[in-house]
Structure 1
Amino acid sequence: MLLQLGWLDIDYAIRKDEPPKVTKESTKEAIDLYEKWEKSNRLSIMFIKTRMCASILGSVDQHTKVKDLIKAIDEQFATSDKALVSTLIMQFSSLRLTETKGVRDYIMRMRDIAAQLKTLEVTMSGTFLRRADC
């Protein structure tokens, strides 16, 4: 999603902090900068809300700043990652060669699970791997 916001050139509010609010004493440059940030923030929030499924957005509080919205979504998925890690470890430790369509399929499934665990920053000790092979 962040890549799409970048392609659309509306990711300014994600990359930069909110500039000071506009006042009567604000210069034209300061006004233009705030308007650019505000437009980017508004469009980014709308884009995210239209692309996310309702169940995810329903579980995240409403936010007026895109950085806060992204942070809330990330926090929502932190607990999901823990459940996924548990599921993957169980699959890894319980997979047997007899349950697959041959040695190649077994190896590919084990490598796939290991790659997913590595993406989630889970390291498995050599002792665990030797016990999983039994």
Structure 2
Amino acid sequence: MGSILECHKAKEFIQAVEEQFVSSDKALASTLMKKLSSKTFDNSRSVREHIMKMKDMSAQLKSLEVDISESFLVHFILNSLPSKYTHFKISYNTHKDKWSANELLSMCVQEEERLKHEMPQSVHMATHDKERTKRGKNAPHFKKENKLSIK
């Protein structure tokens, strides 16, 4: 769209288009690196989706000739996990074996399930007072909210 000068030969045109995409690849690599380095797990999705997204960004960077080693990616993923995974991280760091990104994925999914079962569930309950209030006949009046723990 105007960024490629007028070319009289197809070969010149293709070369000009390739040059445009080289600079786009550099910008894309920079953007992917920023996203990968700032990514944190926020529980909005599963830990599997989080790790798969990070692995996908790493694969995209490799296709742009920015190599990220498997070990480096594993550490990046571990550092992106929240504090509730602290025991899991310590366990990884104290073992002699190094995990691949796929092994880490599998272990994190298991840890996520374990954490879900450990967490107490809570229910918020509000009761309705049938007495009329000063605001009108039909305005509801709520009593104090009670929190119940279910194990």
Normalised TM-score (structure 1): 0.52
| CA shift digits 1:55-97 (9 cap, x unpaired) | 3xx1001111111100001101111111100100111111111
Query: What is the CA–CA distance in structure 1 between the aligned matches of 2:53 and 2:74, rounded to whole Å?
Result: 17
The 5-angstrom pairing of residues 73-92 of structure 1 reads 73-92=17-36
The 5-angstrom pairing of residues 1-134 of structure 1 reads 55=1, 58-98=2-42, 100-125=44-69, 128-129=72-73, 131-133=75-77, 134=79
SS in 2 for 1:97: coil
Contact (CA 8 Å) 1:100, 1:106: kept in 2 or not?
Answer: no
Contact (CA 8 Å) 1:94, 1:132: kept in 2 or not?
Answer: no
Please report how far the alpha carbon of residue 126 of structure 1 lies from its aligned counterpart in structure 2 after TM superposition.
5.4
Of Structure 1 and Structure 2, the greater helix share is in 1
SS in 1 for 2:8: coil
Contact (CA 8 Å) 1:85, 1:120: kept in 2 or not?
Answer: yes
Unaligned runs of 5+ in 1: 1-54
Query: What is the CA–CA distance in structure 1 between the aligned matches of 2:25 and 2:41, rounded to whole Å?
Result: 27
Aligned residues: 78
Give the superposed CA RMSD. Answer: 1.9
Which moves more between the two structures, 99-108 or 74-83?
Answer: 99-108
Letter in 2 for 1:80: S
Query: What is the CA–CA distance in structure 2 between the aligned matches of 1:79 and 1:99, rounded to whole Å?
Result: 35
Identity %: 45
Query: What is the CA–CA distance in structure 2 between the aligned matches of 1:92 and 1:117, rounded to whole Å?
Result: 10
| CA shift digits 1:19-43 (9 cap, x unpaired) | xxxxxxxxxxxxxxxxxxxxxxxxx
Query: What is the CA–CA distance in structure 2 between the aligned matches of 1:60 and 1:77, rounded to whole Å?
Result: 11
Contact (CA 8 Å) 1:117, 1:123: kept in 2 or not?
Answer: yes
